[in-house]
Amino acid sequence: MKKTKIIALTLLVALFTGFSAQAKSGFSFGPKLGVNINKLSISMDGLNSDNRCGFTGGLTAEFIAPVFGVGADISIMYAYMISEVGGQTIKGNFFEIPLHIKYKLSLPAIESIISPYIFTGPSVAFKINSGNNFGETKATQWGWDLGLGVELIKHLQIGAGYTFGINNIMPFVPMETGAISDDIKVKNNYWTVTAAWMF
């Protein structure tokens, strides 16, 4: 947990160090809010996960090269995620850090009104705590994001993305018979829809 706090503090400093340079073209930051819809991917026939809706909120910053439209963004988010497996609940509170490569399409005639963009990149979520009835999940969960969005009036960004779970998030899975299996792989896949106001 101490290591997680150090990583979080380092990323916060990195994110907000650039705020003094916000007047420079291409850099912006702001608050971000949204919802996530989780569905666990389980490598066992007959054991399925149902979609459940959580929420997320935090801060984001981006830099886009004005001429090329290519850049990157990083966000520091709180995320509440919840899924259901076999009538049992899997939920947790996370500190999530997505880092994306981003391409924003600037259309000269209408870029001050609307600019579509796409993004992709890794995401890591550190578990703060959980309240599971089904089984305990790992403290660190890795994913890969892929998504698109639109920026309106140079400030409002509305985006939607899908996170493909990379690592097995459960070291073991409890069975109905009372036995425990460590051969089953469980990955956390989820949709995220967000709105951010950029300054």
Q: What is the pLDDT of residues 132-182, one digit of tens each?
A: 555 577 889 999 999 999 999 999 999 999 999 999 887 766 655 444 555
* pLDDT value at residue 19: 44
Three-state SS at 180: strand
Inter-residue contact 61 to 45 (CB < 8 Å): no
pTM above 0.75, yes or no: yes
In order of 7, 81, 93, 139, 166, the CA distances from 129 in angstroms are: 17, 11, 6, 9, 20
CA distance 15 to 41: 32
Query: Sign of dihedral through CA atoms 90, 92, 97, 101?
Result: positive
Whole-number percent of the chain with pLDDT over 90: 49
Q: What is the pLDDT of residues 41-96, one digit of tens each?
A: 776 665 666 678 899 999 999 999 987 899 999 999 999 988 777 667 778 899 99
